[in-house]
Structure 1
Amino acid sequence: MAADDYLEMSLPVCPESSVLNQYIYNPSITIIFGSLALACFIFATIIAFKYNSVAVFHKKIRTQTISNTIWILYYLVLGLRGASNTVRFAMNRNKEEEAEKIFFIASLTLSGFTALTLALALNHQRKYRSSSSQKQQQLNKETDPLIAPNDQSGSNHLISILKRNVTLSEILFLFFFICFLVFLYVEIIKENAVFYYILLGCCILQHIPVLTLALMITFTRNGGEGPTTQSRVFLMLGALFNIFNYLPLFVWAKFLPGGCPLYVFSWVDLIQLSDFASILFFFLFLRSEYIRNVEECIWTAVSQIQDTFDFRLF
Protein backbone atom coordinates (compact mmCIF):
# COMPACT_ATOMS: atom_id res chain seq x y z
CA MET A 1 0.00 0.00 0.00
CA ALA A 2 1.50 3.33 -1.07
CA ALA A 3 1.42 6.72 0.57
CA ASP A 4 -1.36 7.73 -1.82
CA ASP A 5 -3.50 4.88 -0.51
CA TYR A 6 -2.95 6.01 3.07
CA LEU A 7 -3.99 9.52 2.20
CA GLU A 8 -7.16 8.25 0.58
CA MET A 9 -8.26 6.95 3.99
CA SER A 10 -9.51 10.43 4.81
CA LEU A 11 -10.96 11.26 8.19
CA PRO A 12 -14.53 12.48 8.55
CA VAL A 13 -14.79 16.25 8.28
CA CYS A 14 -16.30 17.47 11.56
CA PRO A 15 -18.23 19.61 12.03
CA GLU A 16 -19.77 19.02 8.62
CA SER A 17 -20.81 22.61 8.08
CA SER A 18 -18.89 25.33 9.84
CA VAL A 19 -17.13 28.61 9.16
CA LEU A 20 -13.88 26.78 9.94
CA ASN A 21 -14.34 24.54 6.89
CA GLN A 22 -13.48 27.52 4.71
CA TYR A 23 -10.00 27.74 6.25
CA ILE A 24 -9.24 24.29 7.70
CA TYR A 25 -9.76 21.05 5.76
CA ASN A 26 -10.39 18.88 8.87
CA PRO A 27 -11.33 21.35 11.64
CA SER A 28 -11.88 18.99 14.58
CA ILE A 29 -8.77 16.81 14.26
CA THR A 30 -6.65 19.85 13.39
CA ILE A 31 -7.70 21.64 16.58
CA ILE A 32 -7.14 18.46 18.62
CA PHE A 33 -3.59 17.97 17.32
CA GLY A 34 -2.80 21.67 17.71
CA SER A 35 -4.00 21.62 21.32
CA LEU A 36 -2.07 18.41 21.95
CA ALA A 37 1.14 19.93 20.59
CA LEU A 38 0.71 23.02 22.78
CA ALA A 39 -0.01 20.89 25.87
CA CYS A 40 3.08 18.73 25.24
CA PHE A 41 5.37 21.75 24.88
CA ILE A 42 3.95 23.25 28.09
CA PHE A 43 4.47 19.99 30.00
CA ALA A 44 8.04 19.68 28.63
CA THR A 45 8.83 23.22 29.80
CA ILE A 46 7.37 22.63 33.27
CA ILE A 47 9.33 19.39 33.67
CA ALA A 48 12.58 20.99 32.50
CA PHE A 49 12.39 23.87 34.95
CA LYS A 50 10.66 22.29 37.97
CA TYR A 51 11.06 18.50 37.93
CA ASN A 52 14.46 17.70 36.47
CA SER A 53 17.00 18.88 39.06
CA VAL A 54 17.34 20.09 42.62
CA ALA A 55 19.31 23.00 44.10
CA VAL A 56 22.01 21.97 46.59
CA PHE A 57 24.26 24.72 47.97
CA HIS A 58 22.94 27.08 45.27
CA LYS A 59 23.95 24.65 42.55
CA LYS A 60 21.61 22.51 40.46
CA ILE A 61 22.20 18.80 40.96
CA ARG A 62 20.63 15.97 38.95
CA THR A 63 20.90 12.27 39.75
CA GLN A 64 19.27 9.32 38.04
CA THR A 65 16.56 9.12 40.71
CA ILE A 66 15.10 12.52 39.79
CA SER A 67 16.26 12.99 36.20
CA ASN A 68 13.32 13.42 33.83
CA THR A 69 15.34 14.28 30.73
CA ILE A 70 13.93 11.35 28.75
CA TRP A 71 10.41 12.38 29.73
CA ILE A 72 11.15 15.87 28.39
CA LEU A 73 12.29 14.32 25.11
CA TYR A 74 9.10 12.24 25.00
CA TYR A 75 6.88 15.30 25.38
CA LEU A 76 8.89 17.28 22.84
CA VAL A 77 8.70 14.53 20.22
CA LEU A 78 4.99 14.00 20.86
CA GLY A 79 4.51 17.76 20.54
CA LEU A 80 6.36 17.78 17.22
CA ARG A 81 4.15 14.94 16.02
CA GLY A 82 1.10 16.93 17.03
CA ALA A 83 2.39 20.03 15.24
CA SER A 84 3.13 18.00 12.10
CA ASN A 85 -0.38 16.54 12.07
CA THR A 86 -1.86 19.97 12.72
CA VAL A 87 -0.35 21.28 9.52
CA ARG A 88 -1.17 18.10 7.65
CA PHE A 89 -4.88 18.01 8.47
CA ALA A 90 -5.31 21.75 8.05
CA MET A 91 -4.17 21.57 4.43
CA ASN A 92 -6.47 20.89 1.52
CA ARG A 93 -5.22 17.50 0.32
CA ASN A 94 -6.51 18.15 -3.19
CA LYS A 95 -4.26 21.21 -3.56
CA GLU A 96 -1.31 20.28 -1.37
CA GLU A 97 -0.94 16.55 -2.03
CA GLU A 98 2.87 16.45 -2.14
CA ALA A 99 3.21 18.53 1.02
CA GLU A 100 0.72 16.30 2.81
CA LYS A 101 2.75 13.22 1.90
CA ILE A 102 5.80 14.79 3.52
CA PHE A 103 3.93 15.59 6.73
CA PHE A 104 2.34 12.13 6.69
CA ILE A 105 5.74 10.40 6.61
CA ALA A 106 7.11 12.83 9.22
CA SER A 107 4.16 12.07 11.49
CA LEU A 108 4.68 8.30 11.29
CA THR A 109 8.42 8.69 11.89
CA LEU A 110 7.77 10.82 14.96
CA SER A 111 5.21 8.27 16.17
CA GLY A 112 7.91 5.61 16.18
CA PHE A 113 10.32 7.93 17.98
CA THR A 114 7.61 8.71 20.53
CA ALA A 115 7.20 5.01 21.32
CA LEU A 116 10.98 4.69 21.70
CA THR A 117 11.32 7.61 24.13
CA LEU A 118 8.35 6.43 26.19
CA ALA A 119 9.86 2.95 26.53
CA LEU A 120 13.21 4.47 27.53
CA ALA A 121 11.54 6.74 30.10
CA LEU A 122 9.71 3.84 31.72
CA ASN A 123 12.84 1.68 31.68
CA HIS A 124 14.71 4.50 33.43
CA GLN A 125 11.97 4.48 36.05
CA ARG A 126 12.34 0.73 36.52
CA LYS A 127 16.12 0.90 36.82
CA TYR A 128 16.57 3.85 39.14
CA ARG A 129 13.32 4.54 40.98
CA SER A 130 11.41 1.31 41.40
CA SER A 131 14.06 -0.52 43.44
CA SER A 132 14.99 -0.51 47.10
CA SER A 133 16.63 2.53 48.67
CA GLN A 134 19.89 0.66 49.23
CA LYS A 135 20.10 -0.35 45.57
CA GLN A 136 19.22 3.18 44.44
CA GLN A 137 21.99 4.67 46.57
CA GLN A 138 24.49 2.21 45.13
CA LEU A 139 23.42 3.05 41.58
CA ASN A 140 23.66 6.76 42.31
CA LYS A 141 27.22 6.46 43.59
CA GLU A 142 28.26 4.33 40.64
CA THR A 143 26.60 6.28 37.85
CA ASP A 144 26.25 9.84 39.13
CA PRO A 145 29.56 11.05 40.63
CA LEU A 146 29.42 14.81 41.15
CA ILE A 147 33.11 15.05 40.29
CA ALA A 148 34.46 12.82 37.54
CA PRO A 149 37.44 10.57 38.41
CA ASN A 150 40.83 11.98 37.44
CA ASP A 151 42.42 8.68 36.45
CA GLN A 152 40.28 8.12 33.36
CA SER A 153 40.71 9.64 29.94
CA GLY A 154 37.72 11.23 28.26
CA SER A 155 37.08 8.36 25.84
CA ASN A 156 37.59 5.65 28.46
CA HIS A 157 35.29 7.47 30.86
CA LEU A 158 32.58 7.76 28.19
CA ILE A 159 32.83 4.04 27.38
CA SER A 160 32.65 3.24 31.09
CA ILE A 161 29.50 5.33 31.45
CA LEU A 162 27.87 3.65 28.45
CA LYS A 163 28.66 0.18 29.80
CA ARG A 164 27.08 1.05 33.14
CA ASN A 165 23.98 2.80 31.80
CA VAL A 166 23.05 1.19 28.46
CA THR A 167 21.25 -2.11 28.98
CA LEU A 168 20.25 -4.91 26.64
CA SER A 169 16.60 -3.92 26.89
CA GLU A 170 17.38 -0.38 25.72
CA ILE A 171 19.32 -1.76 22.75
CA LEU A 172 16.26 -3.90 21.99
CA PHE A 173 13.99 -0.81 22.06
CA LEU A 174 16.31 0.89 19.58
CA PHE A 175 16.29 -2.20 17.37
CA PHE A 176 12.46 -2.18 17.29
CA PHE A 177 12.54 1.50 16.29
CA ILE A 178 15.02 0.87 13.48
CA CYS A 179 12.87 -2.02 12.20
CA PHE A 180 9.86 0.28 12.21
CA LEU A 181 11.71 2.93 10.19
CA VAL A 182 13.06 0.39 7.70
CA PHE A 183 9.67 -1.16 6.98
CA LEU A 184 7.99 2.25 6.92
CA TYR A 185 10.15 3.55 4.11
CA VAL A 186 10.38 0.20 2.30
CA GLU A 187 6.60 -0.15 2.33
CA ILE A 188 6.09 3.39 1.02
CA ILE A 189 8.55 2.78 -1.82
CA LYS A 190 7.61 -0.81 -2.71
CA GLU A 191 3.83 -0.41 -2.25
CA ASN A 192 3.53 -4.00 -1.09
CA ALA A 193 0.65 -5.29 1.07
CA VAL A 194 3.01 -7.65 2.90
CA PHE A 195 5.20 -4.78 4.05
CA TYR A 196 2.05 -2.92 5.09
CA TYR A 197 1.12 -5.62 7.61
CA ILE A 198 4.73 -5.98 8.74
CA LEU A 199 4.74 -2.23 9.38
CA LEU A 200 1.61 -2.53 11.52
CA GLY A 201 3.27 -5.39 13.37
CA CYS A 202 6.31 -3.20 14.03
CA CYS A 203 4.02 -0.45 15.37
CA ILE A 204 2.52 -2.85 17.89
CA LEU A 205 5.91 -4.43 18.67
CA GLN A 206 7.35 -1.02 19.54
CA HIS A 207 4.61 -0.43 22.11
CA ILE A 208 4.72 -3.84 23.78
CA PRO A 209 7.68 -2.80 26.01
CA VAL A 210 5.69 0.27 27.11
CA LEU A 211 2.80 -1.79 28.45
CA THR A 212 5.14 -4.47 29.81
CA LEU A 213 7.23 -1.94 31.75
CA ALA A 214 4.12 -0.18 33.04
CA LEU A 215 2.78 -3.49 34.37
CA MET A 216 6.15 -4.38 35.92
CA ILE A 217 6.43 -1.03 37.69
CA THR A 218 2.80 -1.08 38.81
CA PHE A 219 2.62 -4.59 40.23
CA THR A 220 6.20 -5.22 41.41
CA ARG A 221 6.61 -4.66 45.14
CA ASN A 222 10.00 -4.11 46.78
CA GLY A 223 9.28 -4.40 50.48
CA GLY A 224 7.37 -1.13 50.66
CA GLU A 225 9.87 0.72 48.48
CA GLY A 226 9.28 2.15 45.03
CA PRO A 227 6.38 4.22 43.69
CA THR A 228 3.39 4.98 45.90
CA THR A 229 0.00 3.47 45.20
CA GLN A 230 -1.15 6.79 43.77
CA SER A 231 1.83 6.90 41.40
CA ARG A 232 1.15 3.37 40.22
CA VAL A 233 -2.46 4.28 39.46
CA PHE A 234 -1.32 7.34 37.47
CA LEU A 235 1.14 5.22 35.49
CA MET A 236 -1.35 2.48 34.70
CA LEU A 237 -3.99 4.96 33.57
CA GLY A 238 -1.45 6.71 31.35
CA ALA A 239 -0.41 3.39 29.81
CA LEU A 240 -4.02 2.32 29.22
CA PHE A 241 -4.97 5.55 27.47
CA ASN A 242 -1.79 5.26 25.41
CA ILE A 243 -2.97 1.94 23.95
CA PHE A 244 -4.82 3.81 21.20
CA ASN A 245 -1.43 4.90 19.82
CA TYR A 246 -0.43 1.30 19.13
CA LEU A 247 -1.92 1.63 15.64
CA PRO A 248 -1.57 4.60 13.27
CA LEU A 249 -4.48 6.96 12.83
CA PHE A 250 -5.24 5.79 9.29
CA VAL A 251 -5.91 2.28 10.60
CA TRP A 252 -8.49 3.57 13.08
CA ALA A 253 -10.06 5.62 10.25
CA LYS A 254 -10.35 2.46 8.16
CA PHE A 255 -12.28 0.41 10.71
CA LEU A 256 -14.24 2.97 12.76
CA PRO A 257 -17.64 4.24 11.55
CA GLY A 258 -17.67 7.51 9.64
CA GLY A 259 -19.71 10.61 10.27
CA CYS A 260 -19.79 12.94 13.26
CA PRO A 261 -21.69 11.20 16.09
CA LEU A 262 -21.13 14.16 18.42
CA TYR A 263 -21.44 16.76 15.64
CA VAL A 264 -18.10 18.33 16.58
CA PHE A 265 -16.14 15.08 16.86
CA SER A 266 -15.84 11.91 14.81
CA TRP A 267 -15.01 8.50 16.29
CA VAL A 268 -11.38 9.01 15.24
CA ASP A 269 -11.36 12.36 17.05
CA LEU A 270 -12.56 10.66 20.23
CA ILE A 271 -9.76 8.11 19.90
CA GLN A 272 -7.23 10.90 19.52
CA LEU A 273 -8.56 12.71 22.60
CA SER A 274 -7.19 9.83 24.69
CA ASP A 275 -3.72 11.31 24.17
CA PHE A 276 -4.64 14.21 26.45
CA ALA A 277 -5.51 11.83 29.27
CA SER A 278 -2.35 9.82 28.62
CA ILE A 279 0.09 12.74 28.79
CA LEU A 280 -1.69 14.15 31.85
CA PHE A 281 -1.45 10.90 33.82
CA PHE A 282 2.17 10.38 32.76
CA PHE A 283 2.95 13.92 33.97
CA LEU A 284 1.24 13.29 37.31
CA PHE A 285 3.22 10.07 37.62
CA LEU A 286 6.65 11.58 36.97
CA ARG A 287 5.84 14.57 39.21
CA SER A 288 4.86 12.21 42.05
CA GLU A 289 8.06 10.22 41.58
CA TYR A 290 10.17 13.38 41.56
CA ILE A 291 8.64 14.53 44.85
CA ARG A 292 9.20 11.09 46.37
CA ASN A 293 12.87 10.95 45.39
CA VAL A 294 14.01 14.56 45.69
CA GLU A 295 14.98 14.34 49.37
CA GLU A 296 17.06 11.23 48.72
CA CYS A 297 18.74 13.04 45.82
CA ILE A 298 19.70 15.93 48.15
CA TRP A 299 21.06 13.48 50.72
CA THR A 300 23.09 11.67 48.03
CA ALA A 301 24.51 14.94 46.71
CA VAL A 302 25.53 16.15 50.16
CA SER A 303 27.03 12.73 50.94
CA GLN A 304 29.14 12.78 47.77
CA ILE A 305 30.31 16.32 48.45
CA GLN A 306 31.39 15.30 51.96
CA ASP A 307 33.22 12.24 50.62
CA THR A 308 34.96 14.34 47.96
CA PHE A 309 35.96 17.26 50.19
CA ASP A 310 36.51 15.42 53.47
CA PHE A 311 39.30 17.51 54.97
CA ARG A 312 39.60 15.04 57.85
CA LEU A 313 41.68 12.93 55.45
CA PHE A 314 44.39 15.56 55.68
Structure 2
Amino acid sequence: MVRERLSVVVTRRLPEVVETRMTELFDVELRDDDRPFTREELADAMRRSDVLVPTITDNIDQALLAQAGDKLKLIANFGAGVDHIDVQTARQRGILVSNTPGVLTEDTADMTMALILAVTRRIPEGLAVMQAGTWGGWSPTAFLGGRVGGRRLGILGMGRIGQAVARRARAFGMQIHYHNRRRLHDDIEEELEATYWDSLDQMVSRMDVISVNCPHTPSTFHLMNARRLKLMKPGAVIVNTSRGEVIDENALTRMLRAGELAGAGLDVFQRGVEVNPRLRELSNVVLLPHMGSATREGRAETGEKVIINIKTFADGHRPPDLVLPSMV
Protein backbone atom coordinates (compact mmCIF):
# COMPACT_ATOMS: atom_id res chain seq x y z
CA MET A 1 0.00 0.00 0.00
CA VAL A 2 1.41 3.39 -1.02
CA ARG A 3 1.13 5.99 1.72
CA GLU A 4 -0.38 9.30 0.60
CA ARG A 5 2.17 12.07 0.50
CA LEU A 6 1.83 14.91 2.97
CA SER A 7 0.60 18.23 1.61
CA VAL A 8 3.13 20.93 2.46
CA VAL A 9 2.83 24.68 1.96
CA VAL A 10 6.02 26.79 2.01
CA THR A 11 5.49 30.49 2.76
CA ARG A 12 8.69 31.93 1.21
CA ARG A 13 11.18 31.08 -1.54
CA LEU A 14 13.83 28.65 -0.31
CA PRO A 15 17.17 27.63 -1.83
CA GLU A 16 16.66 25.66 -5.05
CA VAL A 17 18.27 22.52 -3.66
CA VAL A 18 15.81 22.55 -0.75
CA GLU A 19 12.77 23.12 -2.94
CA THR A 20 13.86 20.34 -5.31
CA ARG A 21 14.20 17.83 -2.47
CA MET A 22 10.83 18.84 -1.00
CA THR A 23 9.18 18.29 -4.37
CA GLU A 24 10.63 14.78 -4.49
CA LEU A 25 9.33 13.85 -1.05
CA PHE A 26 6.07 15.72 -0.51
CA ASP A 27 3.05 17.17 -2.25
CA VAL A 28 4.52 20.63 -1.86
CA GLU A 29 3.24 24.07 -2.82
CA LEU A 30 6.15 26.44 -3.44
CA ARG A 31 6.19 30.20 -3.97
CA ASP A 32 6.64 31.90 -7.35
CA ASP A 33 7.63 35.17 -5.67
CA ASP A 34 9.24 35.95 -2.35
CA ARG A 35 6.81 38.36 -0.76
CA PRO A 36 5.49 37.39 2.68
CA PHE A 37 2.00 35.87 2.90
CA THR A 38 -0.79 38.15 4.02
CA ARG A 39 -2.70 36.96 7.10
CA GLU A 40 -5.54 35.83 4.85
CA GLU A 41 -3.18 33.81 2.66
CA LEU A 42 -1.51 32.33 5.74
CA ALA A 43 -4.87 31.31 7.22
CA ASP A 44 -5.88 29.70 3.92
CA ALA A 45 -2.60 27.77 3.76
CA MET A 46 -3.11 26.50 7.31
CA ARG A 47 -6.58 25.21 6.44
CA ARG A 48 -5.51 23.17 3.42
CA SER A 49 -2.12 21.73 4.36
CA ASP A 50 -0.86 18.92 6.58
CA VAL A 51 2.38 20.81 7.14
CA LEU A 52 3.13 24.53 7.05
CA VAL A 53 6.72 25.70 6.53
CA PRO A 54 6.82 29.32 7.74
CA THR A 55 9.69 31.71 8.43
CA ILE A 56 10.28 34.54 10.89
CA THR A 57 8.21 36.87 8.69
CA ASP A 58 5.02 34.87 9.43
CA ASN A 59 3.30 35.90 12.67
CA ILE A 60 1.33 32.81 13.66
CA ASP A 61 -0.56 33.99 16.72
CA GLN A 62 -3.54 32.66 18.65
CA ALA A 63 -6.10 34.36 16.39
CA LEU A 64 -4.54 32.89 13.27
CA LEU A 65 -4.27 29.42 14.76
CA ALA A 66 -7.98 29.58 15.57
CA GLN A 67 -8.62 29.69 11.82
CA ALA A 68 -6.58 26.55 11.13
CA GLY A 69 -8.59 23.49 10.23
CA ASP A 70 -8.20 19.94 11.49
CA LYS A 71 -5.89 19.09 8.60
CA LEU A 72 -2.83 20.98 9.85
CA LYS A 73 -0.68 18.77 12.08
CA LEU A 74 2.84 20.24 11.90
CA ILE A 75 4.38 23.69 11.66
CA ALA A 76 7.94 23.00 10.50
CA ASN A 77 9.59 26.37 10.96
CA PHE A 78 12.44 27.37 8.63
CA GLY A 79 14.69 28.88 11.28
CA ALA A 80 15.70 28.40 14.89
CA GLY A 81 13.69 31.21 16.50
CA VAL A 82 10.01 30.52 17.15
CA ASP A 83 8.94 33.70 18.94
CA HIS A 84 6.69 34.44 15.94
CA ILE A 85 4.68 31.26 16.64
CA ASP A 86 2.25 30.77 19.54
CA VAL A 87 3.62 27.35 20.43
CA GLN A 88 1.32 26.93 23.44
CA THR A 89 -1.85 27.46 21.42
CA ALA A 90 -0.56 25.27 18.61
CA ARG A 91 0.03 22.36 20.97
CA GLN A 92 -3.41 22.84 22.54
CA ARG A 93 -4.88 22.44 19.07
CA GLY A 94 -2.85 19.29 18.45
CA ILE A 95 -0.39 20.97 16.10
CA LEU A 96 3.30 20.15 16.55
CA VAL A 97 5.97 22.83 16.05
CA SER A 98 9.55 22.12 14.98
CA ASN A 99 12.52 24.40 14.30
CA THR A 100 16.12 24.18 13.05
CA PRO A 101 18.52 24.78 15.96
CA GLY A 102 22.30 24.76 15.71
CA VAL A 103 22.54 25.27 11.96
CA LEU A 104 23.36 28.98 11.88
CA THR A 105 25.61 29.22 14.93
CA GLU A 106 28.88 29.85 13.12
CA ASP A 107 27.37 32.18 10.51
CA THR A 108 25.72 34.39 13.12
CA ALA A 109 28.86 34.44 15.27
CA ASP A 110 30.88 35.54 12.22
CA MET A 111 28.50 38.45 11.66
CA THR A 112 28.60 39.42 15.32
CA MET A 113 32.37 39.70 15.16
CA ALA A 114 32.11 41.59 11.87
CA LEU A 115 29.81 44.15 13.48
CA ILE A 116 32.11 44.57 16.47
CA LEU A 117 35.00 45.32 14.12
CA ALA A 118 32.91 47.50 11.80
CA VAL A 119 31.74 49.76 14.62
CA THR A 120 34.96 49.96 16.63
CA ARG A 121 37.17 50.49 13.54
CA ARG A 122 34.68 52.81 11.72
CA ILE A 123 34.72 50.68 8.58
CA PRO A 124 31.42 52.00 7.08
CA GLU A 125 32.65 55.59 7.41
CA GLY A 126 35.78 54.77 5.46
CA LEU A 127 33.76 52.85 2.88
CA ALA A 128 31.39 55.79 2.39
CA VAL A 129 34.26 58.19 1.73
CA MET A 130 35.83 55.84 -0.81
CA GLN A 131 32.53 55.25 -2.62
CA ALA A 132 31.85 58.98 -2.74
CA GLY A 133 35.34 59.64 -4.18
CA THR A 134 36.08 62.27 -1.53
CA TRP A 135 39.11 60.69 0.13
CA GLY A 136 41.90 63.25 0.30
CA GLY A 137 44.66 60.87 1.35
CA TRP A 138 46.08 59.36 4.51
CA SER A 139 46.25 61.40 7.70
CA PRO A 140 47.56 60.47 11.18
CA THR A 141 44.29 61.55 12.78
CA ALA A 142 41.75 60.36 10.20
CA PHE A 143 39.15 57.67 10.97
CA LEU A 144 40.62 56.83 14.34
CA GLY A 145 38.81 53.87 15.86
CA GLY A 146 39.58 51.67 18.82
CA ARG A 147 41.67 48.52 19.21
CA VAL A 148 39.54 45.48 20.06
CA GLY A 149 42.39 43.56 21.68
CA GLY A 150 42.24 43.90 25.46
CA ARG A 151 38.66 45.17 25.49
CA ARG A 152 36.04 43.60 27.72
CA LEU A 153 33.28 41.83 25.79
CA GLY A 154 30.06 41.17 27.67
CA ILE A 155 27.95 38.46 26.03
CA LEU A 156 24.26 38.52 26.87
CA GLY A 157 23.11 34.94 26.29
CA MET A 158 25.78 32.23 26.33
CA GLY A 159 24.14 29.51 24.27
CA ARG A 160 25.58 28.04 21.08
CA ILE A 161 25.96 31.39 19.35
CA GLY A 162 27.24 33.23 22.41
CA GLN A 163 29.94 30.62 22.91
CA ALA A 164 30.89 30.78 19.23
CA VAL A 165 31.21 34.58 19.55
CA ALA A 166 33.41 34.10 22.61
CA ARG A 167 35.78 31.80 20.71
CA ARG A 168 36.18 34.34 17.93
CA ALA A 169 36.59 37.27 20.28
CA ARG A 170 39.30 35.44 22.24
CA ALA A 171 41.28 35.10 19.01
CA PHE A 172 41.18 38.90 18.75
CA GLY A 173 42.51 39.25 22.29
CA MET A 174 39.24 40.33 23.91
CA GLN A 175 38.39 39.52 27.53
CA ILE A 176 35.27 37.36 27.72
CA HIS A 177 32.47 38.03 30.20
CA TYR A 178 28.91 36.76 30.09
CA HIS A 179 25.47 36.77 31.68
CA ASN A 180 23.15 33.82 31.18
CA ARG A 181 20.07 32.27 32.77
CA ARG A 182 22.31 29.46 33.96
CA ARG A 183 26.02 29.50 34.60
CA LEU A 184 28.08 27.36 32.22
CA HIS A 185 29.91 24.26 33.36
CA ASP A 186 33.38 24.90 34.74
CA ASP A 187 35.08 23.17 31.81
CA ILE A 188 33.35 25.43 29.27
CA GLU A 189 34.17 28.55 31.28
CA GLU A 190 37.78 27.42 31.45
CA GLU A 191 37.93 26.69 27.72
CA LEU A 192 36.51 30.11 26.86
CA GLU A 193 38.35 31.89 29.68
CA ALA A 194 34.97 33.43 30.44
CA THR A 195 33.91 35.29 33.58
CA TYR A 196 30.30 34.82 34.70
CA TRP A 197 28.25 37.73 36.02
CA ASP A 198 25.15 36.90 38.03
CA SER A 199 24.12 40.56 37.88
CA LEU A 200 23.45 41.84 34.37
CA ASP A 201 23.53 45.42 35.64
CA GLN A 202 27.02 45.02 37.04
CA MET A 203 28.30 43.35 33.87
CA VAL A 204 26.81 45.98 31.57
CA SER A 205 28.37 48.84 33.54
CA ARG A 206 31.88 47.42 33.19
CA MET A 207 32.02 46.26 29.57
CA ASP A 208 33.54 47.94 26.51
CA VAL A 209 31.39 45.92 24.10
CA ILE A 210 28.02 44.26 24.70
CA SER A 211 26.90 41.49 22.34
CA VAL A 212 23.22 40.50 22.48
CA ASN A 213 22.89 36.80 21.71
CA CYS A 214 19.81 35.75 23.70
CA PRO A 215 16.42 34.77 22.21
CA HIS A 216 13.34 36.96 22.38
CA THR A 217 10.98 35.73 25.09
CA PRO A 218 8.59 37.59 27.40
CA SER A 219 11.40 37.74 29.97
CA THR A 220 13.95 39.20 27.54
CA PHE A 221 11.71 41.86 25.94
CA HIS A 222 13.58 45.17 26.42
CA LEU A 223 16.08 43.41 28.65
CA MET A 224 18.40 46.20 27.54
CA ASN A 225 15.97 48.94 28.52
CA ALA A 226 16.66 52.66 28.99
CA ARG A 227 17.83 52.22 32.59
CA ARG A 228 20.23 49.41 31.72
CA LEU A 229 21.56 51.15 28.61
CA LYS A 230 22.42 54.16 30.76
CA LEU A 231 24.62 51.90 32.89
CA MET A 232 26.93 51.38 29.91
CA LYS A 233 30.15 53.37 29.68
CA PRO A 234 30.02 56.35 27.28
CA GLY A 235 32.80 54.76 25.23
CA ALA A 236 31.05 51.39 24.99
CA VAL A 237 29.56 49.72 21.92
CA ILE A 238 26.54 47.41 21.65
CA VAL A 239 25.85 44.91 18.87
CA ASN A 240 22.75 42.79 18.30
CA THR A 241 22.46 39.80 15.95
CA SER A 242 19.72 38.07 17.96
CA ARG A 243 16.29 39.73 18.17
CA GLY A 244 15.51 43.41 17.94
CA GLU A 245 12.95 43.26 20.75
CA VAL A 246 15.68 42.64 23.34
CA ILE A 247 16.83 46.28 23.09
CA ASP A 248 14.68 49.36 23.66
CA GLU A 249 15.47 50.82 20.24
CA ASN A 250 14.10 54.29 20.96
CA ALA A 251 16.17 54.60 24.14
CA LEU A 252 19.25 53.35 22.30
CA THR A 253 18.70 55.89 19.53
CA ARG A 254 18.39 58.76 21.99
CA MET A 255 21.63 57.79 23.73
CA LEU A 256 23.55 57.40 20.49
CA ARG A 257 22.35 60.80 19.25
CA ALA A 258 23.32 62.38 22.57
CA GLY A 259 26.82 60.87 22.44
CA GLU A 260 26.17 58.77 25.55
CA LEU A 261 27.33 55.61 23.73
CA ALA A 262 30.21 55.22 21.28
CA GLY A 263 28.32 53.18 18.72
CA ALA A 264 26.06 50.29 17.81
CA GLY A 265 25.91 47.49 15.26
CA LEU A 266 22.42 46.17 14.59
CA ASP A 267 21.37 43.30 12.33
CA VAL A 268 17.87 43.07 13.82
CA PHE A 269 15.29 45.68 14.76
CA GLN A 270 12.41 45.99 17.19
CA ARG A 271 9.79 46.51 14.47
CA GLY A 272 11.16 44.25 11.79
CA VAL A 273 11.74 46.19 8.58
CA GLU A 274 10.54 49.46 10.15
CA VAL A 275 13.93 50.79 11.18
CA ASN A 276 13.98 53.96 13.25
CA PRO A 277 14.89 56.63 10.66
CA ARG A 278 16.98 58.51 13.23
CA LEU A 279 19.31 55.52 13.42
CA ARG A 280 20.07 55.82 9.71
CA GLU A 281 21.43 59.32 10.22
CA LEU A 282 24.15 58.31 12.67
CA SER A 283 27.69 57.71 11.44
CA ASN A 284 28.55 55.61 14.51
CA VAL A 285 25.82 53.05 13.82
CA VAL A 286 26.15 50.08 11.46
CA LEU A 287 22.80 48.75 10.22
CA LEU A 288 22.42 45.46 8.35
CA PRO A 289 19.25 43.88 6.85
CA HIS A 290 19.12 40.74 9.05
CA MET A 291 22.15 39.19 7.33
CA GLY A 292 23.50 37.28 10.32
CA SER A 293 22.51 33.85 9.01
CA ALA A 294 22.63 34.69 5.31
CA THR A 295 25.05 32.16 3.87
CA ARG A 296 24.29 29.70 1.10
CA GLU A 297 25.55 26.86 3.26
CA GLY A 298 23.47 27.89 6.26
CA ARG A 299 20.24 28.26 4.31
CA ALA A 300 20.71 24.85 2.67
CA GLU A 301 21.42 23.17 6.01
CA THR A 302 18.34 24.86 7.51
CA GLY A 303 16.24 23.43 4.70
CA GLU A 304 17.71 19.98 5.27
CA LYS A 305 16.63 20.15 8.91
CA VAL A 306 13.10 21.18 7.91
CA ILE A 307 12.92 18.21 5.54
CA ILE A 308 14.16 15.79 8.22
CA ASN A 309 11.53 17.09 10.66
CA ILE A 310 8.73 16.64 8.12
CA LYS A 311 9.97 13.26 6.90
CA THR A 312 10.29 11.93 10.45
CA PHE A 313 6.76 13.14 11.21
CA ALA A 314 5.48 11.54 7.99
CA ASP A 315 6.99 8.25 9.11
CA GLY A 316 4.97 8.38 12.31
CA HIS A 317 7.72 9.55 14.64
CA ARG A 318 8.37 12.64 16.74
CA PRO A 319 10.27 15.33 14.79
CA PRO A 320 13.84 15.51 16.13
CA ASP A 321 13.64 19.29 16.60
CA LEU A 322 10.23 19.40 18.29
CA VAL A 323 9.59 22.65 20.18
CA LEU A 324 7.77 22.34 23.49
CA PRO A 325 5.95 25.25 25.16
CA SER A 326 8.31 24.93 28.14
CA MET A 327 11.24 25.66 25.82
CA VAL A 328 9.90 29.03 24.70
Q: Which has the higher contact order (CA 8 A, sep 6+)?
A: 1
Give the TM-score, by structure 2 length.
0.26
